[in-house]
Chains A and B, each alone.
Chain A
Amino acid sequence: MAENLEELDQHIRACIAIFVALLCLTVITVAVSYLNLPVPATITLALCVALVKGSLVVSYFMHLVSEKKLILWSLSLTVIFFIILMVLPVVTDLDVISHTITVKH
């Protein structure tokens, strides 16, 4: 990262732009929450904004855009397991045996 100072300057300028973007997104997400949209819409919007903000932080503040392959590989592994951890328990919660069998004597 930042082999020379010129690259560093560029990186810093990008980071400041992203800082401003993050502030704007924060204002937007709070403003949207006051609109009293239906719950699914609120959740989708809030999560989308959070995702955008999160990926901006990860890519530029944590300069993952220019990171070495090894780290990207280990992080993608983490992301896969993270998704498994989020999705599978929920799926098991939705697919449950719900009917009861009555036995006649």
Chain B
Amino acid sequence: MADTTITEEKKSEVSHEEHHEELSFLRKYIFSTDHKMIGIQYTITGGLFLFFGFGLMMLMRWSLAYPDQPLPILGFLVGNNGIMTPDTYNTFGAMHGTIMVFMGVVPLAFGAFGNFVLPLQIGAVDMAFPKINAFSYWCLFVGGVIMLASFFLPEGAAKSGWTSYAPLADIDIGLGQTFWLVGMIFLITSSLMGSINFIVTAIQLRAPGMTYMRLPFFVWTQLVTAVLLLLAFPPLEAAGLLQLMDRVAGTSFFLPTGLVISGEVADISGGGSPLLWQHLFWFLAHPEVYVLILPAMGIVTEVITNNARKPVFGYKLMVYSLIFLGFMSFSVWAHHMFMTGMGTTLNAFFQTTTMIISVPSVIILSCLFLTLWGGSIRFNTPMLFALGFLPMFGIGGLTGLPLGLSASDIHLHDTLYVIGHFHYVVAPGTLFGLFAGIYYWFPKVSGRLMNETLGKLHFWGTLIFMNLVFFPMLIQGMAGINRRLHDGGASYADATAIIDPGFYSHAANYLYLNKWMSMSAWALGLVQIIFLVNLLWSIKKGKKVGRNPWNATTVEWAAPSPPGHGNFESAVEVYNGPYEYSVPGAAKDFSPQFEKGAST
């Protein structure tokens, strides 16, 4: 038990740091080292990238619904008289994936929420390394600028998919892919530094009394996420360096002997292995999937227990499942590579580990459902999003099972089914968690509540339209439509019909869904305007609230809203577990961690 308090530390230790009362605008808002300001910077940056990536997708959906027709009004964005060429489509596709995963969701889920909430929840004054924290943010910023700059290159940005599979990415002309690699190295460095900071903070700066088993589940998810980032990202950095060497120094790490490009044998030394890239890439990218989903699970747990007014069901079980999940996520990656000619023994191995890893996620999801049982549930906006997360993530997870079994994967791989599955996990899954978090912690950030009516409108619109976008993908995928076609499968379906006109052309029968999906995607975009309006309006005009508007138990609600520099007015001590709601015999229906004797 740590009984050393902050006040015991010597004054002289910080004497080299500045003592002046007011920091300049630049130090306070731009090059801040305060974890809350950095968290807000991450939120704004990640949010802008999310909307940018979504914008790319809305443009792509035009090409999918109305292939080779000029884009109305916004035609100047795609050039070529407003008709989207397959090349432009590929560029947008690759950048949509990259931006959403590495520059949108990770900075938001990990950088933003982790930075703002984690130190508050453990009762710390700041992150363990505030300067490194600022450095991580600025690495992300530079990486983002490099990625965005690549759109203005003569040959355009990277267009080999967000996975940058070799040898395609190796031989791609222009500087786009090189920019992508350099940008990725910055993004990876940012995440690495961030994850070290998070782990050290969560372990070293816990307030007195905050034992590991009293950590809120959100802190646990951030901790496991940080470990995944720390140990899984470096191999991708290595792979990025190798691909950079291939592109810049002319090496052949990923180029096999006798590679033929455009009908000619390439002038390379050869001897490389395209599969090497896939191994190193998926060694990161499978844990990365959990990096995307775990913080959302943490947020959802906080919101659900708070609004069900019940302790979370099976806290320890959830924590152990989480740790097991994190551990297992390092040995499943080759289920992304079933179709690469891997032998059956290994296919069996990886499909077994894949099935095993689904167990802890199911346990966590079940625990959350059971938390709802018998609770007196408050249906406010954060709770709606958290409740929406449960079935949506459920669909996402269950549709993953056929992909994890190597036999059914033969049929489903590289179809829109994969896209549907993945987006169910990340869009209505993770994003719902993030929305829940934004509505839930907004009072802590600004001291004001967000508008409930607009929030509910936003929730229902998002829920309906997201399902209308992603569910048809599962249907189209099962019909066999490939995921990478710029015309949404039209030419492919027509060709089948030309060969055998009387034949039932399965893909052709589901092409009409493209228009519906596109309309829904654009409607989804419109619904997000409600959210933006709500956010901006609430910052200035929202209802003012005190420190603990949700009557919650975790430590962040002990700080003023918004918390000042150093977070808490006096040192925090923790007396009980994180979710002591409706304790029998207690005076109120919530017994905060930071109040002594609250649970007796």
Q: Is any CB of A less than 8 Å from a CB of B in the complex?
A: yes
Binding site for B on A (CB under 8 A): 70, 77-78, 81, 84-85, 88-89, 91-93, 95-97
Which residue of A81, A89, A95 contacts B345 across the interface (Cβ within 8 Å)? A95
Q: In the complex the two chains form, what is the Cα distance from A84 to B327 in whole Å? A: 11
Cβ contact within 8 Å between B283 and A85? yes
> Quick check: is B276 within 8 A (CB to CB) of the other chain?
yes
Cβ contact within 8 Å between B227 and A96? no
Q: Least Cβ distance of A80 to chain B in Å?
A: 8
Stretch of B302-310, B336-344, B395-403, B589-597 lying at the A interface: B336-344
Which residue of A70, A78, A89, A96 contacts B279 across the interface (Cβ within 8 Å)? A89
Q: In the complex the two chains form, what is the Cα distance from A91 to B108 in whole Å? A: 37
Q: Given A84-B331, A89-B276, A93-B275 in contact, is the A70-B342 Cβ separation under 8 Å? A: no
Cβ contact within 8 Å between A85 and B235? yes
Cβ contact within 8 Å between B334 and A77? no
> Quick check: is B587 within 8 A (CB to CB) of the other chain?
no
Q: Least Cβ distance of A37 to chain B in Å?
A: 25
Q: Given A81-B231, A85-B235, A97-B341 in contact, is the A91-B346 Cβ separation under 8 Å? A: yes
The residue among A84, A89, A91 with the most chain B CB atoms within 10 A of its own CB is: A89
Which parts of B257-308 form the interface with A (CB within 8 Å)? 273, 275-276, 279, 283
Q: Given A81-B231, A84-B331 in contact, is the A96-B276 Cβ separation under 8 Å? A: no
Cβ contact within 8 Å between B342 and A92? yes
Cβ contact within 8 Å between B235 and A92? no
Q: Given A89-B279, A92-B279 in contact, is the A81-B330 Cβ separation under 8 Å? A: yes
Cβ contact within 8 Å between A95 and B343? yes
Q: Which residue of A lies closest to B234 (CB)?
A: A85
Which parts of B308-343 form the interface with A (CB within 8 Å)? 327, 330-331, 334, 337, 341-343
Q: In the complex the two chains form, what is the Cα distance from A92 to B283 in whole Å? A: 13
Cβ contact within 8 Å between A95 and B227? no
> Quick check: is B203 within 8 A (CB to CB) of the other chain?
yes
Residues of A within 8 A of B227 (CB): 77
Q: Least Cβ distance of B350 to chain A in Å?
A: 9
Task: Provide 28 A-B residue pairs closer than 8 Å at the C-beta atoms, listed in order of the A residue.
Answer: A70-B203, A77-B227, A77-B231, A77-B327, A78-B231, A84-B330, A85-B235, A85-B283, A88-B279, A88-B331, A88-B334, A89-B276, A89-B279, A91-B346, A92-B275, A92-B337, A92-B342, A92-B346, A93-B275, A95-B342, A95-B343, A95-B344, A95-B345, A96-B341, A96-B343, A97-B341, A97-B343, A97-B344
Q: Least Cβ distance of A99 to chain B in Å?
A: 11
Residues of B within 8 A of A85 (CB): 235, 283
Q: Which residue of A lies closest to B337 (CB)?
A: A92
Number of A-B contacts (CB under 8 A): 40
Q: In the complex the two chains form, what is the Cα distance from A46 to B543 in whole Å? A: 70
Q: Which residue of A lies closest to B276 (CB)?
A: A89
Bin chain B's interface residue count: 20 to 34
Q: Least Cβ distance of A100 to chain B in Å?
A: 11
Residues of A within 8 A of B343 (CB): 92, 95-97
Residues of A within 8 A of B344 (CB): 95, 97
Q: Which residue of A lies closest to B345 (CB)?
A: A95
Q: Which residue of A lies closest to B227 (CB)?
A: A77
Q: Which residue of A lies closest to B333 (CB)?
A: A88
Q: Least Cβ distance of B72 to chain A in Å?
A: 48
Q: In the complex the two chains form, what is the Cα distance from A92 to B342 in whole Å? A: 6
10 closest residue pairs by CB, A with B: A95-B343, A89-B279, A95-B346, A97-B341, A81-B231, A81-B330, A95-B345, A92-B342, A96-B341, A92-B346
Q: Which residue of A lies closest to B273 (CB)?
A: A93
Q: Least Cβ distance of A50 to chain B in Å?
A: 20
Residues of B within 8 A of A97 (CB): 341-344
Q: In the complex the two chains form, what is the Cα distance from A97 to B341 in whole Å? A: 5
A81-B231, A96-B342, A97-B343 known, 17 other contacts, Cβ within 8 Å: A70-B203, A77-B327, A81-B330, A85-B235, A88-B334, A89-B276, A92-B275, A92-B279, A92-B342, A92-B343, A92-B346, A95-B342, A95-B343, A95-B345, A97-B341, A97-B342, A97-B344
Cβ contact within 8 Å between A92 and B203? no
Q: In the complex the two chains form, what is the Cα distance from A77 to B228 in whole Å? A: 11
Q: In the complex the two chains form, what is the Cα distance from A84 to B353 in whole Å? A: 13
Residues of B within 8 A of A70 (CB): 203
Q: Least Cβ distance of B560 to chain A in Å?
A: 33
Q: In the complex the two chains form, what is the Cα distance from A77 to B346 in whole Å? A: 23
Q: Least Cβ distance of A73 to chain B in Å?
A: 11
Q: In the complex the two chains form, what is the Cα distance from A89 to B203 in whole Å? A: 33
Q: In the complex the two chains form, what is the Cα distance from A74 to B232 in whole Å? A: 14
Q: In the complex the two chains form, what is the Cα distance from A70 to B337 in whole Å? A: 35
